[in-house]
A and B are shown apart, each in its own frame.
Chain A
Amino acid sequence: MLTYQDLCERYLDKIEKPGRYIGAELNSVHKENDLEKLSARVCLAFPDVYEVGMSHFGLKILYHIANKKPEYWAERVFAPWPDMEKVMKEEQVPLLTLESSTPLKAMDLIGFTLQYELSYTNILHMLRLADLDVWRKNRKDSDPLVIAGGPCAFNPEPLADFFDAFVIGDGEEVFAEILDILKKEKSKAKRLELFSKLPGVYLPDQYTVLYNEDDTIKAISPQKRVKKAVVKDLDLADYPTDPVVPYIQTVHDRVNVEVFRGCLRGCRFCQAGMIYRPTRERSTEKVKKLIFSTLATTGYEEVSLTSLSTADYSELKCLVPDLMDIFEPERISLSLPSLRIDSFSVDLAKEIEKVKKTGLTFAPEAGSQRLRDLINKNVTEKDLLDTAEAAFANGWTHIKLYFMIGLPTETDEDILAIAALGKKVREIGRRYTKKGMVTVSTSSFVPKSHTPFQWFDQETRDELRRKQFLLKDNLRGPGLQFNWSDPEASYLEAVFARGDRRLSAVIAYAEERGAFFDSWHEFFKPEIWEEGFKVFDIDPDFYATRAKAKEEVLPWDLIDSGVNKHFLWSEWQKALQGEITQDCRDVGCTGCGVCRDLDVDIVLRGEINK
């Protein structure tokens, strides 16, 4: 059998980036010579190209958890780029693992991560390239188990007929137990039976969905809900300090240390903010230890402190200067994604730019105060203008602002408010420098499961386009830039974000007819999808642009994120009233239910940053 290396050598002139398939990167784990000692082999699959997949830290955590034990070997696989796929087909080579060029079929288990809805066709595509049937029921007992986890597993229903199991929630502890089951049990049925006893594991074939005549769900049986798995203390959770260092440039190629998981700000559009609750911080000591040991094993020149809102890390004020004292002479840059809109964040940015000048991006999300209150983004116009003032005063010349279009109850006035805000920020910039620049980026709002907006009818594509043009017309002028996203892609995302099992057939149909890399503009073919919905007589509007009733059974009701539906509904009602809900760290419990339901506590290590 040919290996990736053979293929790269043979087709050097046809493969654009052979570096994607090297598989022998620094810190990659090879157990080719110890095959007889292995009791389980698994493949961690990211359904996108190498550069994207290798930027995902979850994959590196699971890789580490499996490989630190001598009896398990986890390898990686990514979606081959079309140039590689072509030569693999020519040579009749099935999809291979990166490390040892072993066919995926030889694995005990293949685990996919579900990071975004538009990667679903790539999953099917990869299974087919691996010579595996995409439908669970058609796979043989000797075929590997195919499972998935990640944020989109919180509504796994559109993929229900493809996977043997889904892992809902934090994967660290569950994955270790899954490996132990693979070691203990060799039959597929027994393995699945044991999986089903683990926290957070959902076996879709054990559930039946009944529908009403109007296509809504009548009932899901059994009524047993699957509670998400949760890691209580991040300090005790496994975390790799020797991650694989890619040769080719990836999207995020740096030391990543997650300073906390979960966010309690309660932005009502944000799925991550609901499904990863509650906030659990790592201690500063642990964070530092992880950073310095990772730097020693990787030689990285950049460190990123990651989380859903890093400026909220309670010990950041002390941590950043401590790190910069060491990083500055070593020319190691620090990056803090997701800055808040306040002067504290500008101070931080000022501190970290000693090594490398970076851009500043702020996310007011909505243009008017009314809408910001509705989405519970606790930011005022004054906050933003003061922050912009501080940034320009400190030497920045370019600020990026991020907004969503198509939020609930949005009117043209709200859209024009985005333009007005962009212009005000530019005027502040121009007072400091002639080069003052503002980039306004917008995306189309996609309502997600497990959020207060899960009942909301997404705006139509025509309306989204009209609003984009309205904004574009009002954002002309020197020092203003405008970016937007394709409403067509956001529409499809919305269909799958709140879809049900009946969509499996459409995904399989679209993939068979050439849909893949849907999240890549150059590959996205909406016409195939349109055709697929017609063939199966499915109205995609039913999922995307239809408002759902309070009593409606939602496809993901069987998944328990810990945040209860009553809380989400009351948040939805409060949103429509323009009432805000404060962070429970500041005002005490707001009743989302996660701590009680999952028997877990908020973990804070220091004072809250003001």
Chain B
Amino acid sequence: MITCVKFGKDSSAAFVSHLDLIRVFERAMRRASLPLSFTQGFSPRPKMVFAHALGVGITSSGEYLDVTLEKELPSEVIFQRLKEALPEHFPLYDVVNLPDSVTPAMAAITHASYVFQNQEEERLLEINFLDSLIYTRTKKGKVVAEDLKPHISLIEKTASGVRIIARAGSQKNVRPSAILSALEISAQTRIHREDIYIEKEGCFITPLMRS
């Protein structure tokens, strides 16, 4: 059985890096007396995989991790215990038990939704009218240019900022900082990840809905 956990990172938790997050959850699960299962080898690690790394400084209300517990427990029990054990600024939203056969969240996800908040919202919204959005960076000493536009599915104004849904995951990944860099926006920007999605038959589902 795979247990999928949906959580968030707010306030100062945004500064907890991806590597550190693994320790945060391992320790929270230990405090919650959840029976972790471990990898083999000289230095066993808990079987726990995060769906999609989040950049340092970005808050989120849609993070996921798949954890394999040694013993099956009702999802409500896991939810309750984990909720009590997680540190401040790591809200817990949902826990769902899934069959072993599901595709791991890390491999399944295809899109992520971000909200950008800064003084240059108009310029972000203008992406809608651009034919291309060229992002250039140096990779191994070579300048590489890439058009991000085809990988952006949606740009819209919301009450809290500009929402952009773009490709995410192992196939194609658009980092929010790449969008800012392509627009040459250097103003201080708050970025919030709303959720992560799996595109399935033309619809977006979340990793909790895998079957």
Contacts and interface: CB of A to CB of B under 8 A. Distances in A.
A299 B27 contact: yes
A300 B27 contact: yes
Nearest to A253: B23
Interface in A481-518: none
Given A10-B188, A18-B56, A299-B30, 19 more contacts: A9-B57, A9-B188, A12-B57, A22-B16, A23-B12, A24-B89, A26-B88, A247-B24, A249-B19, A249-B23, A297-B31, A298-B31, A299-B26, A299-B28, A300-B27, A301-B27, A301-B30, A330-B30, A331-B36
B31 A5 contact: no
Contacts of B31: 296-299
Contacts of B88: 24, 26
B43 A356 contact: yes
A126 interface: no
Top 3 A-B residue pairs of the complex, sorted by shortest distance between their CB atoms? A299-B27, A299-B30, A18-B15
B132 interface: no
17 contacts: A5-B11, A8-B12, A8-B15, A9-B188, A9-B190, A12-B56, A12-B57, A19-B17, A19-B20, A22-B12, A24-B12, A247-B24, A296-B31, A298-B31, A300-B27, A300-B30, A331-B38
B119 to A, nearest CB: 14
Interface in B1-54: 11-12, 15-17, 19-20, 23-24, 26-31, 36, 38, 42-44
B155 interface: no
A299 B22 CA distance: 13
A5 B31 CA distance: 27
Interface of B: 11-12, 15-17, 19-20, 23-24, 26-31, 36, 38, 42-44, 56-57, 85, 87-89, 188, 190
Contacts of B12: 5, 8, 22-24
A191 B165 CA distance: 61
A301 B43 CA distance: 11
Interface string A517-532: 0000000000000000
Interface in A23-54: 23-26
A248 interface: yes
Interface of A: 5, 8-10, 12, 18-19, 21-26, 245, 247-249, 295-301, 330-331, 355-357
A12 B88 CA distance: 21
Instruction: Report which residue of B12, B43, B44 has the largest number of chain A beta carbons within 10 angstroms of its beta carbon.
Output: B12
Contacts of B190: 9
A357 B188 contact: no
A180 to B, nearest CB: 31
B84 to A, nearest CB: 12
Contacts of A299: 26-31, 85
B88 to A, nearest CB: 6
Contacts of A18: 15, 56-57
Contacts of A26: 27, 87-88
A271 B93 CA distance: 53
B27 A298 contact: yes
Contacts of B29: 299
Given A296-B31, A356-B42, A19 B26 contact: no
A19 B57 CA distance: 10
Contact of A331 (B11, B24, B44): B44
Nearest to B87: A26
A373 B57 CA distance: 57
Contacts of A19: 15-17, 20
Contacts of A247: 15-16, 20, 23-24
A25 B87 contact: yes
Given A299-B26, A299-B28, A249 B20 contact: yes
B57 A8 contact: yes
Nearest to A25: B87
B9 to A, nearest CB: 11
Contacts of B38: 331
A357 B42 contact: yes
Nearest to B24: A247
Nearest to B21: A247
A499 B144 CA distance: 59
Nearest to B85: A299
Contacts of A5: 11-12
A355 B12 CA distance: 34
Nearest to B89: A24
Contacts of A8: 12, 15, 57
Contacts of A10: 188
Contacts of A21: 15
Contact of A248 (B17, B27, B44, B87): B17
A296 B87 CA distance: 14
Nearest to A296: B31
A299 B27 CA distance: 4
